[in-house]
Structure 1
């Protein structure tokens, strides 16, 4: 075991370890073990099938699975060791990588999918830099899923109403909660930055500092859990559903992205004269060309597509523009060194590893294939035609046909991801909704 890690566990009197592997839905799977057990045997084994469960806990069709149900060898990444600040006993958490017994990577593990894409960048001497923005809603507790969601009670004793975008006092309503969120994030070295009130009722946004794509994906993965745990302790729910309430806007995970020359550290998107480069335009061209084919990665659930509407402050296309928030791909005002592209398409319900891998895969293909973008848009993009698949079935058909993206992200991963989503959507369509009972039961 790494001697420094052993000293960290000893000095912090850790008694339990949460050994975690992220699955395809972004759920933390794994085991909780005593610290002494962890120190004596860090290797962990779990069935590969745990990675490909649907959000309801089911699996793709048997024809896609290895019926011998083999184990993965899970090895800890020492760089991910962090406190679990809300635990009663001194507890640490550690993210594991999924390997086969021969040491090769398990292709369907989301963390490995991102590593595969980052390796392609590294082979070109490139290093992506990303910065996610996380939107979420605070809610009153809702143990009955048949009851619509409602905003929580703040310090004034009243539930929020109306639209309070960027209102400081609206954030102050929940100061004790956000103090805990920031304390929890600090204890875990989650590099969160700005907090704002978003458009929706009790909808918030917390931004991350820019950095390495794998590290930021780890941080987002842990951040979601952190916010939910903090909310529980204040008598609230926090949700990362893309569209939790019908009358409110959806929630996104906007991803700011640029690419550095790994050897010089300079931004590939800006030339010596400060002007945008061909790499910049080709990156955008790749996003425009491939992003609509990858929508199951950016809109992974039936609920996700409810967000993609101009009436929910979400993009409906992959046009791009300078400081234009109506387009899917926004280029913020910045210095040449900070030139970047903001992908505004992903919902906050995405698996962060997969969404990061997919957006970088699209940009990579654009740069490698020198795909030219359309002209930037200076007008309202909501007036343009809808450019995404119309629902989950069409999205999966288009992803299946996109061999370029499969080659970058891994053919077996894409096959298993599609299989998992087909199973998940089939489960959804078996459910009869209250709307159907309300309007069809006695009227048709």
Structure 2
């Protein structure tokens, strides 16, 4: 087991980073930034070539790429294709547990050379929303829950995915929700996941078997949103690496297999008073506060326009369909899992709202930022939610975009979200999603060839 990294306070000096690197005998450094899809971009640098005081350079256009590596038709970065500065965030300094040689990984912030944040950086977008909370004397708290599938390795993307073979040399039969024995089929994988996450300081909570065949869920402890987004970003890298080393894939697609449930990243969120630490969702007598209801009202009002952040790909909308244990509307209820917005049973000091809209395919920085932005607008505008639902929300009408093209159109027409996120970022993100949608739409599916080729 790899020794866990020593925690570092925020805003540590370059000398402190150097001391940490020396202490761990680091030979290489993975200098990372999350791109618009949440993928790790950056450079791998030999230790003797890395100067934390100077950082690195990378083209700004990296943040304009689609998930396929293409670009929108319109340029949203200068035509000269300039660089940006990558400045290390010392709080993200960690070991790479799977590396053969002592290797560090550091998430970097993206800055212009005048020191201002790059508007297209997802990490900077989340910082921008958190600054709005700070302006109001508030501190949001989040806890993500991540679902994912383990599947057999299949290099041919035209062949449907299949569940992996476990330690009994069999694949799962039927749904195995909350089955301990089904999880134990993959004990070797989860032992390594927990070890490697501990080595990186990723605060894992519970592990369960979800509804789907070889579908798992791992929760992270609650905490500060930027730190939790970083942990989700690193967690996905870790789980994929562990699975490959055990001769299978781990996939965070929202809907990877026909006939199986989709995978979500539920976001539990609350807000505390920055000065006192008091949960503002509860009154002193323990009853729900006006801010609690306003936050729900904001989610109901603005999540339809923000859906492109929670369902960022064409595949995402296969999950958001009726009777698939995923939300199709924004009803809310107390301990009601059919609702898009669920309020779990809890003590007043832990009162929180669970946003169940996001698929696990999201960029965690943008999904958390969007959820917090919608709630913040609700509190500022003092929006009132609908009445809590006690029945099934699956019987209610659709309230969300049905496909990516619709979601992008709604996003572009929402002025309050544009003001919070920045007009330039919003238009760039929409152009990226539009480019991805057009690229997908050019592909002819097996269904079309099977049923239309000789029948119409």
Asked if residue 172 in structure 1 is aligned to residue 184 in structure 2, the reply is yes
Match of residue 300 from structure 2: 288
Aligned-residue offset at 1:63? 4.4
Distance across 2 between alignment mates of 1:89 and 1:381: 52
Match of residue 350 from structure 1: 362
- Which of 209, 218, 225 is equivalent to 1:197? 209
Cα pair 1:77 1:95 within 8 Å, conserved: yes
- Which of 426, 429, 433 is equivalent to 2:438? 426
Aligned-residue offset at 1:41? 6.0
Cα pair 1:21 1:28 within 8 Å, conserved: yes
Match of residue 10 from structure 2: none
Match of residue 310 from structure 1: 322
- Which of 279, 283, 286 is equivalent to 1:274? 286
Aligned-residue offset at 1:157? 0.5
Aligned CA distance change for structure 1 residues 186 and 276 (closer, same or farther; 3 Å): same
Cα pair 2:52 2:87 within 8 Å, conserved: no
Asked if residue 220 in structure 1 is aligned to residue 239 in structure 2, the reply is no
Cα pair 2:17 2:52 within 8 Å, conserved: no
Cα pair 1:322 1:331 within 8 Å, conserved: yes
**TM-score with structure 2 setting the length:** 0.96
Match of residue 102 from structure 1: 114
Cα pair 1:249 1:311 within 8 Å, conserved: no
Describe the superposition over 1:213-238 as per-residue Cα deviations: whole angstroms up to 9, x where unpaired. 00000000000000000000111100
Describe the superposition over 1:246-285 as per-residue Cα deviations: whole angstroms up to 9, x where unpaired. 1100000000000000000000000100100010000000
Distance across 1 between alignment mates of 2:388 and 2:145: 23
Cα pair 1:16 1:33 within 8 Å, conserved: yes
Cα pair 2:14 2:53 within 8 Å, conserved: no
- Which of 359, 377, 392 is equivalent to 1:380? 392
Cα pair 1:320 1:376 within 8 Å, conserved: yes
Aligned-residue offset at 1:152? 0.4
Describe the superposition over 1:155-209 as per-residue Cα deviations: whole angstroms up to 9, x where unpaired. 0000112000000000000000000000010000000110000000000000000
Distance across 2 between alignment mates of 1:249 and 1:52: 31
Distance across 1 between alignment mates of 2:222 and 2:93: 20
Distance across 1 between alignment mates of 2:205 and 2:48: 36
1:106 partner SS: coil
Aligned CA distance change for structure 1 residues 322 and 16 (closer, same or farther; 3 Å): same
- Which of 83, 89, 102 is equivalent to 1:90? 102
Moved more, 406-415 or 186-195: 406-415
2:427 partner SS: helix
Distance across 2 between alignment mates of 1:108 and 1:189: 27
Match of residue 55 from structure 1: 67
Distance across 1 between alignment mates of 2:338 and 2:432: 32
Q: 5 Å matches for 1:39-54?
A: 39=51, 42-54=54-66
Distance across 2 between alignment mates of 1:198 and 1:318: 23
Q: 5 Å matches for 1:90-239?
A: 90-239=102-251
Moved more, 244-253 or 427-436: 427-436
Aligned-residue CA RMSD in angstroms?
A: 0.9
Distance across 1 between alignment mates of 2:25 and 2:42: 22
1:290 partner SS: helix
Describe the superposition over 1:34-71 as per-residue Cα deviations: whole angstroms up to 9, x where unpaired. 01111476411111110121111001113434211111
Aligned-residue offset at 1:379? 0.5
Aligned-residue offset at 1:124? 0.5
1:18 partner SS: strand
Aligned CA distance change for structure 1 residues 41 and 368 (closer, same or farther; 3 Å): closer
Cα pair 2:255 2:319 within 8 Å, conserved: yes
- Which of 365, 370, 380 is equivalent to 1:368? 380
**TM-score with structure 1 setting the length:** 0.99
Cα pair 1:140 1:237 within 8 Å, conserved: yes
Match of residue 84 from structure 2: 72
Structure 2 unaligned runs (5+)? 1-12
Distance across 1 between alignment mates of 2:75 and 2:351: 46
Distance across 1 between alignment mates of 2:270 and 2:130: 13
Distance across 1 between alignment mates of 2:257 and 2:265: 17
Corresponding residue pairs, total: 444
Aligned-residue offset at 1:7? 2.0
Describe the superposition over 1:88-145 as per-residue Cα deviations: whole angstroms up to 9, x where unpaired. 1111100000111111111110000000000000001000000000000000001110
- Which of 26, 32, 39 is equivalent to 1:14? 26
1:166 partner SS: coil
Cα pair 2:60 2:77 within 8 Å, conserved: no
Aligned CA distance change for structure 1 residues 246 and 73 (closer, same or farther; 3 Å): same
Asked if residue 405 in structure 1 is aligned to residue 417 in structure 2, the reply is yes
1:346 partner SS: coil
Q: 5 Å matches for 1:295-334?
A: 295-334=307-346
